[in-house]
Amino acid sequence: MLKTFFRFMKLMGDRLPIYLGAILLSTIGDTGRRIANSYLIKNIVTAAQTNQFDQILFVVFINFAVFVLGLFLWRFGIIRYNIEAWIGAGKIEKLIFSKAMRLPMSYYEKNHSSDFLSKLIFDARKALDIYTSRLRRLLSAILSTVIYLIPMLYFSWDLTFCLIVISLLAFWINSLFANPMKKFGRCLSAQNAKMLEKLTNILSGIELIKVFPVRSRILKEYEDAGKEYFHIQKNGNRLSAGLECLNCMFDLIGALAFLGLGIWFVSLGRINLGELTALYVLYGAFRNVFSEIGLYFPQLMECIANAEKIFEFLDLEEEPKQWNYKESDNKIEDENSENILSMKNVSFSYSNERKILENFSMEIKKGSFVAIVGESGCGKSTLAKLLLGFYPLRSGSILINGKEYSKLTLKEIREQISYVPQEPYLYETTIAENISYGRYHANREEIIAAAKAANAHDFITKLPNGYDTILGERGNTLSGGERQRIAIARAIIRNTSILIFDEATSALDNESESLIQDTIKNLKGERAILMIAHRPSSILSADMVVRLEL
Amino acid sequence: MVKTGLRNGYILLLFIIFSFILNETIIIGNDFIAEATDQMLSGQQIYFSEFIIPLICMIILGTIAAYLKSIFGKQYSSTVQKDVRLSLGNHLLKLPFSYFDEKGTGSIMTRLIFDIEEMGRFFSEILPNLLVNLIIVMTATIYLINIDVMLIIVLFISYPIMLVVADRLSKKLAELAKKLRTHMDKRTEKAYDAIQGIVIGRSYNLYDIQRKKIEVDINNMVTQACKSTRISSLGWVLKNIITTIPVIFCYLFALYEITQGKITVGEMLAFTVILNRILYPIGDIVFCANDIREVGVSLKRIQEIYNQKEERKDGTIHNRSENTKIIPAIEWKEIDFCYDNSKEHPILNGISFSIEPGEQIAFVGGSGEGKTTIFKLLCGFYEKNSGQYTLFGHPFESWNLEAARGFFSIVSQNVFLFPETIKQNVACGKEHATEEEIVEACKNANIHDFIMSLPKGYETLVGERGVLLSGGQRQRISIARAFLKNAPILLLDEPTASLDIETEEKIQEAIEKITIGKTVLVIAHRLSTVRNAKRIYVVNGGRIVEIGTHKELLEKQGIYAEMYAKG
């Protein structure tokens, strides 16, 4: 727990001292002016009792000066620390995003995207509370307790001592709640991810839900998740209400003990009434911060649970920079420089149960057009993904332009391959930008040229905003064929030595398809083109046909 | 949303009652001190034992009240949150399709997670705080009035100015809060977009580009938050000024009154104690406006979803009439449609066609000519701009939407699967489908054998959007779903486009089975699949340009013949 907390604080890096300094400053400012206030009261009450008023105005003036100074310090500190807190929060969000983009492919297959989004929207937000309020309140509470103690001890050390005992008892009780609160935080966070998944079902499955009779089930699942969330919240409410009432009890006991003892001490003549009142005012503030400790300590625990969730995510293993294969395979070098791509004895399976590829070898020369055919589910798309380095091989090796995969970083490998998947994904941005994702700094002419090559230029210019049309989610404002053509333009503009088309022209009419096929064939030149296909038209014109079997 | 707040108002009421009790307990306790002090000052002997029993009673009462107050306050918030969450989910399902085109998933998600959480904060922290503070200030004020009216006047003298300032600040803060949320929406959208497109992102090395883009939004969020800190800190400073300066005057004034003999020292002491109790509440009440306005932005964003008009529910016809044999199943006359209501870019332009029950027709044409839009209009996802759409003899408008959609099954090229088991996904086709029915449907869709070859069979999880299955497998599950629904009208949107030959055969076989006795509409841009259609409609530029059988159209030597020659 402490480890998580310290790690969370360390995320702030160099700015941590500024942040802590700002908290310290604001606390000093705040407590300072309150202590001054209590002195004022002491003097006023004493004056009222003794009828000596000559010092009063001077005291008021001093008090006012301290008040202004304290306020100034406090504001300065509070602005600074809030800014630092938000910068820290932004940093965490960036880290979560970076992580989410760099996990191994298997993560995305096994986990729902709501898992990551929940971390970003929910956990990061809750953990941010550590920076913005929970920690500050706790720290300044502890700090001001210590600061308040000094004048309190000065007014009456024995009375203050009794109060400290009661307060420490209260603090101990509070700390007992830490673990249950943390557990509660974890449950809530996990349930939030589940709820978000059910919500995504509604949002992305809306078309299906409207036509098929699943509405009640999908809604019920979402409602159940929402109710479970409520249920967890309810348990948490009980916990924190219990804690709050215990604190209130200690508060009352403290107040009453204070009164009882105070009256007794005054009657014994150990302190005078003015001091007692001042002490009471201080004690009021002291108790206030103490009940804040009671209130914010468990909340801090809850937030730490969220921070833990974030760290679990940040600690997930990333996709490595390159796959490390055994040393023995390293010596293979391709003699034949004509070969742009060669696979040697490649075996691969997702799990141990079923081998997708076994001792698969092929060689692809420059300028060749290769069709890959086979039954659905036999591993055609997997082959493409292996070439892209999405998964490590079980055995065997792949060479690209004469270089072994194990000697190249995944980034270098991917720089040489353009992939157009079956259901090409388009981003929620302009068409021009979607195409430029193939080559980020491409200018408009290059983009248009690529779109023309992909037979997409005509329909794009027909759109009201042309190339600047912003696409809807998943490009859903376009038809399947239009999406495919943009995806192909994106691949073409990249100008890589290998192009892989995975049923990339399936949603096109014959005319567009044959136009694109021609373009693709013209691209051959120094490149190699792999086309996962089933149409006779594509297969017939191939230089080589690779048939995969189950 | 307001309704939900009110419906659960009784919890809030309980909360207020217990807050009141708690507060009274504390005030009565203070009466003891004042009394005791006065006695002490007048030289009487104080017996602590006199206080013990009432004090212990107070502690017990206070503790119980504190627990109940706290639990009711929190419970109120959780209940409202839950109710809003559930009713929003329900509402979302009733919204028209176009809403989901306009509002991105990211924005809706931020609203349902973040804004509801913020709303919860309003109900769990801000509103109870405001109420408690009001109670404290009111009860304490009444108590103080009994001591001296003038003191109260001095205390509240600066209030009006503060109210004006607080109002100004809170407006500014609300503006910033709105901007912050806009950036937040963008951030969520980009994150969602990036994770959904991870395959492309990874194979095109887009990581750095995407990271930079999202960092802009995150930085904007941080900037907005920092700006609002500066402004709200001004509020805090003012709050401290109004809670401190008048108090100093109060003390001086009280001192003056003591010298005049108007109040006793004991009363002044009680006054000091009470004053200290209400100082913070007084300031908080004024600057609550900041929090309320800020949360108000969240509430508005939630309200926006509620305000979206639901899909129509006015249709009264639920069933087909008996003599369905004679009436066309679907009849369209001169239907126009465009997505954005601007007449500039019509998608459909005077489309007319009709289909008898049991017939099979096809729409062909290049991609992007509006064929899929025809299907969306048929299912009532969008409303036509003009023209007439008759379904089983009744205008579509008089149909109950849900009932009308019950007649359709869609098998399209983009298959959506829920991240659940295969069984659950197939079972979507029919409510309360039995195991046998599901297996039967899968057998008909030629997918049963594949499912059985999986280690977990029908209980296999398919992953988000079905990523763990291949395109052909997903397609067949969607056909099984349609088998199970057994709707009279079947809409096939290029169901075999992306399949290899063997799979295509399997699916073709499954489709032949499913189309028996059904009214079938097929979309195709590949003409080999539509040869058997009773009529083929050639769609071009949102119009129907040719109609006829395969043979007739070939003889016509028009667009169709041209397309066929190229294929």
Are the beta carbons of B464 and A105 separated by less than 8 Å? no
> Which residue from A51, A213, A241 is facing B67, i.e. has the nearest CB?
A241
Number of residues that this document lists for chain A? 550
| Rounded distance between C-alpha atoms, residue B530 and residue B361, angstroms | 8
| Rounded distance between C-alpha atoms, residue B315 and residue A436, angstroms | 47
Structure tokens at A496: 């890589």
Exposed/middle/buried for residue B200 (C-beta within 10 Å: 0-12, 13-18, 19+) = buried
CA distance to partner chain B, nearest, from residue A249 (Å): 5
Question: What is the chain B residue with the closest CA to A243?
Answer: B67
Sheet holding A368-374, edge to edge: A417-420, A498-502, A528-532, A368-374, A544-548
- Residue B426 confidence (pLDDT): 92
Chain B residues touching A427 at Cβ < 8 A: 193-194, 197, 200
Chain A residues touching B489 at Cβ < 8 A: none
Chain B residues touching A117 at Cβ < 8 A: 109, 188, 191-192, 195
Are the beta carbons of A267 and B46 separated by less than 8 Å? yes
- Residue A228 confidence (pLDDT): 95
How do residues B7-42 score in pLDDT, each as one tens digit? 888 888 898 888 888 878 877 776 776 676 666 666
Are the beta carbons of B269 and A64 separated by less than 8 Å? no
CA distance to partner chain A, nearest, from residue B135 (Å): 17
> Which residue from B90, B408, B419 is facing A219, i.e. has the nearest CB?
B90
Alpha carbon A286 to chain centroid, angstroms: 38
Are the beta carbons of B193 and A427 separated by less than 8 Å? yes
C-alpha dist (Å) from residue A289 to A32, A148, B270, B299, B540: 14, 10, 22, 31, 74
Number of residues that this document lists for chain B? 567
How do residues A406-422 score in pLDDT, each as one tens digit? 888 888 899 999 999 87
Exposed/middle/buried for residue B514 (C-beta within 10 Å: 0-12, 13-18, 19+) = buried
> Which residue from B201, B494, B501 is facing A507, i.e. has the nearest CB?
B494
- Residue A61 confidence (pLDDT): 85
> Which residue from A199, A503, A509 is facing B89, i.e. has the nearest CB?
A199
Q: Choose among A508, A421, B364: nearest CA to A517.
A: A508
Chain B residues touching A59 at Cβ < 8 A: none
- Residue A245 confidence (pLDDT): 84
Are the beta carbons of B430 and A233 separated by less than 8 Å? no
Are the beta carbons of B419 and A112 separated by less than 8 Å? yes
pLDDT in tens, chain A (550 residues): 788 888 988 888 888 999 999 988 988 888 888 788 778 877 877 787 777 777 778 888 888 888 889 888 989 998 998 999 999 999 999 999 999 999 998 888 888 888 888 888 889 888 888 888 888 878 877 787 787 788 878 877 877 887 788 778 877 888 888 889 889 989 999 999 899 999 988 888 888 888 888 888 889 999 999 999 999 999 999 988 888 888 878 877 777 777 777 777 777 777 777 777 777 777 777 766 666 776 777 788 888 999 999 999 999 998 888 887 655 455 555 555 678 888 888 888 877 667 788 888 888 888 888 988 887 777 888 889 899 989 888 888 888 888 888 888 888 899 999 999 878 889 988 999 999 999 888 899 999 999 998 888 988 988 888 899 888 777 777 877 888 889 999 999 988 889 999 887 776 777 777 777 788 777 777 788 898 877 766 777 788 888 887 6
Are the beta carbons of A100 and B37 separated by less than 8 Å? no
CA distance to partner chain B, nearest, from residue A142 (Å): 20
Q: Choose among A283, A281, A285: nearest CA to A39.
A: A281
CA distance to partner chain B, nearest, from residue A332 (Å): 25
The CA-CA-CA angle for residues B78, B84, B85, to 5°, reads 85
* Contacts of residue B449, Cβ cutoff 8 Å, sequence gap at least 6: none
- Residue A352 confidence (pLDDT): 67
CA distance to partner chain A, nearest, from residue B465 (Å): 9
Question: What is the chain B residue with the closest CA to A100?
Answer: B195
* Contacts of residue B434, Cβ cutoff 8 Å, sequence gap at least 6: none
Chain A residues touching B78 at Cβ < 8 A: 230, 233-234, 237
The CA-CA-CA angle for residues B181, B184, B185, to 5°, reads 90
CA distance to partner chain A, nearest, from residue B166 (Å): 17
State the ipTM, two decimals. Answer: 0.86
> Which residue from A45, A440, A481 is facing B269, i.e. has the nearest CB?
A45
Chain A residues touching B371 at Cβ < 8 A: 479
> Which residue from A245, A388, A421 is facing B63, i.e. has the nearest CB?
A245
Chain A residues touching B37 at Cβ < 8 A: 263, 273
pLDDT in tens, chain B (567 residues): 677 778 888 888 898 888 888 878 877 776 776 676 666 666 666 666 776 787 788 888 888 988 998 899 889 999 999 999 999 998 998 888 888 877 778 888 888 888 998 888 888 888 888 888 888 788 778 877 877 787 778 777 777 877 888 888 889 999 999 999 999 999 998 999 888 888 888 888 888 888 999 999 999 999 999 998 888 888 888 877 777 777 777 778 888 888 887 777 777 777 777 777 677 777 778 778 788 888 899 999 999 988 988 888 887 888 877 665 667 889 999 999 887 666 667 788 889 999 988 888 999 887 777 888 898 899 888 888 889 999 888 899 889 888 888 899 888 877 889 988 999 999 988 888 899 999 999 998 889 998 998 888 999 988 888 888 887 888 889 989 988 888 889 998 876 655 566 667 777 788 888 888 888 898 876 666 677 788 999 988 888 888 998 888 888 888 888 877 765
Backbone conformation region of residue B242, classed left if phi is above 0, alpha if psi is from -120 to 50, else beta: alpha
Would you say the C-alpha torsion B317, B323, B324, B327 has a positive or negative sign? negative
Contact B132, B219 (CB under 8 A): no
